[in-house]
Amino acid sequence: MNILFVCMGNVSRSFLAEMLLKKELGLSNKDKFSISSAGLSAFPGSPPDIQMVSYLKKMGLSAEGHRSSQITKEDVDLADLILVMEKYHASKLQNQWPDTKGKVELLTKYLPGGQFADDIPDAFGRSPYHYRLAQSQITLAIKSLAKKLISNSPKG
């Protein structure tokens, strides 16, 4: 299963979600899942947001090697599931590539009470509060998503 996380710049939210899901799924599932991220308006090659890198370091994860990438038609075609941070992202994807309908979901759908899924606000360049909010929402949603993916994954 190919999972693609999307936000605007691919330096903060989608990047964090990608790194956290890779950790949650672990090495035993790496052959079952391909996880990547991209931005709708990325500056390809940009380094990740230092606040998100710091958060990952506290969790024992490295962000080494990540550089932002701009979403492409190939990314969209390869993805089985596209998880976005905002309703606007879903709308933009579906307007640009109508065939994405049915495989685009808000990441907050995986939060408790996710049937009322809402945006994960962009923390980039904002206050520590905004970073903590985005980090906690993404972390909780990823933990829930990983459990669902593992329980629905064929064994072996």
The predicted-structure confidence for 6-53, as pLDDT tens digits, reads as follows 999 999 999 999 999 999 998 778 789 999 999 999 999 999 999 999
Q: What local confidence, expressed as pLDDT, does residue 30 receive?
A: 79
* Residue 106 domain boundaries: 2-152
Q: What local confidence, expressed as pLDDT, does residue 31 receive?
A: 86
Residue 38 and residue 71 in contact, taking contact as beta carbons nearer than 8 Å:
yes
Mean pLDDT of 73-85: 97
What is the rounded radius of gyration, in angstroms, for the C-alpha atoms of the chain?
A: 14
Please check the confidence at residue 111 and state whether its pLDDT lies above 70. yes
In whole angstroms, give the CA distance from residue 121 to residue 123.
6
Q: What local confidence, expressed as pLDDT, does residue 29 receive?
A: 80
Give the count of domains, the chain.
1
Instruction: Give the 3-state secondary structure of residue 63.
Output: coil
In whole angstroms, give the CA distance from residue 40 to residue 71.
6
Mean pLDDT of 84-110: 95
Q: What local confidence, expressed as pLDDT, does residue 155 receive?
A: 63
State how far the alpha carbon of 99 is from the alpha carbons of 44, 80, 92, 95, in Å. Answer: 24, 12, 12, 9
